[in-house]
Amino acid sequence: MIHFKEIGKIMGALLVLIALLMLPGVIFSLHFDEDPWPILSSVVITMVIGVTLFFSFSKQDQNIRKREGYLIVALSWVFMAGFGMLPYILSNQIVSFEDALFETMSGLTTTGATILTDIEAMPKGLLFWRSMTQWIGGLGIIVLTVAIFPLLGIGGIELFVAESPGPTSDKVHPRISETAKRLWYVYVGLTFLATILYWVGGMTFFDAINHALTTLATGGFSTKNNSMAYYDSAFIQYVAIIFMFLAGTNFTVIYFGLIGKFKRVLKSDEFKVYSLALLGIAIVLYYPIFAHGGVSHELAFRKSLFQVVSIVTTTGFVTDDYTQYSEGVTFICFMLLFLGGSAGSTAGGIKFVRHLTFIKNSWLEFKRLVHPRAIVPLMINGDRVTGRIITHIMNFLLIYLLTFVLGSLALSLMGYDLATSLGAVATSLANVGPGIGRVGPEDNFAFFSPAAKIFLSVIMLLGRLELFTLLILFTPFFWRAN
């Protein structure tokens, strides 16, 4: 039996938090002499409904079970998308439901795809809210809520597991609320540092804070039409590379590094593979970019490294059109959409730990064939991986591939060419932003039909919640009493 009282109370807390996070947008609107009422009205509506929900349900003694955890996470994203659309609609900057849904879902899922054709013409307060949606979605609104609202009096581990990206959610503290708080300290600290460095590098303070929010969220929303290409600055681009890399790293690994537990950092197989893979792929792409002509060795490597880090960490910032070089470069960049960052990071995608588990298990299968009676354990980070986790990862990879194939088929049946269908579904499912075809680095998603925009919004949510969290709600046994 599902306990809806706990769900209602947490939905109220979420809406209160969303309303509070809208307030900076009001401040920026006033600062830039813009009309603050669209965002302020959204704050009032969201706050009133949130407070009403929160106090309509009494404090419960029961802990949240896995079933409620999955339902709360799924509903929270629906609620956030619904109320997150209000500033766009009330300001008349985005008038259609499907466009507002797409832009909001793209923000909350940190996808970074957009339907806006002239970003710089948007009100500054609205642009800040747009960036804030990505920052909220980055490490997960559920983690933030568990960290700030322990007064709910209900457990949080099921929420943390359902929300955290990747197959693991390593705890840095026995208490889940303390784990969430410490991860958010890292998140906020890195965002503050990125803001300062962007500002020092030549961005205005407004642009600096917006890009810091979307960098650490691996979201990729920018205040400029040309994204990071607008800033012809090696310093700014290298700062972006460093912070995109950190945002794509498991935040528990970063935390252990900050407190001096470097052995825990070096123990992470995923971190080592992630780091070497980014460097290796950047070196591979450096030559065709340099051979294309007109750039120095440093600029060619910077362009290569920036795009590789941006795509793999699913940030989606753009400094160059990778489709201009060759079909080979385009194909490599397309395949990068299927990598993803590290588990426990703000990145989307499949995640390196799943690839690592799949490759290691496949390699060990050859040994098992030769020695059928031998016990050949699969080790990750020096620990044995259980059969249940291996099965879960294999199922995830299969469902991910199936979702990509069926999604691409559905989009192509709507009348879009194959490259665009493949690129749009792959980038939406991985929460990246740019893809191939008509959704390349210099394009946007404005040309899609209303049905296609809603469909891609669902694909984004599926990818952000790592498939199972959302799909499990459509299984009959989820709703059974026992």
Question: Annotated binding site for K(+), which residues?
Answer: 110-111, 219, 314-315, 431-432
Query: Residue for token digits 């590789």?
Result: 308
Region for residue 151 given its phi and psi (left: phi exceeds 0; alpha: psi -120 to 50; beta: otherwise)? alpha
CB burial class (10 A; 0-12, 13-18, 19+) of residue 135?
buried
Which amino acid, residue 293?
G
The structure tokens listed for 264 are 């825990």
Cα–Cα distance measured from residue 167 to residue 180, given in angstroms and rounded to the nearest whole number: 17
* Angle at 427 (CA atoms; ends 425, 428), nearest 5 degrees: 65
**Calpha distance 61→44 (Å, rounded):** 31
CA distances from 263 to 166, 258, 382, 393 (A): 22, 12, 12, 26
What lies within 8 Å, CB to CB, of 160 at 6+ separation is 142, 143, 146, 169, 176, 179, 180
The dihedral built from the CA positions of residue 164, 165, 171 and 172, taken in this order, carries a sign that is: negative
The residue written with tokens 């999955």 in the block is: 70
CA 262, 268, 270, 273 torsion-angle sign? positive
Q: What 3-state class would DSSP assign to 482?
A: coil
Annotated binding-site positions: 110-111, 219, 314-315, 431-432
Neighbours of 195 (CB within 10 A): 21
Is residue 167 a contact partner of residue 393, using CB atoms and an 8 Å limit? yes
The span from the CA of 432 to the CA of 282, in Å, is 18
- At residue 326, what is the residue type? S
Burial of 380 (0-12, 13-18, 19+ CB in 10 A): middle
The b-or-e profile of 84-116 (16+ CB within 10 A means b, else e) is: bbbbbbebebbeeebbbbbbbbbbbbbbbbbbb
CB-based contacts of 411, cutoff 8 Å, min separation 6 = 420, 421, 424, 425, 452, 455, 456
Q: Which of 434, 436, 428, 437 is nearest to 456 (CA)?
A: 428
For residue 132, which of 224, 256, 14, 20 has the smallest C-alpha distance? Answer: 20
Between CA 479 and CA 239 the distance in angstroms is 48
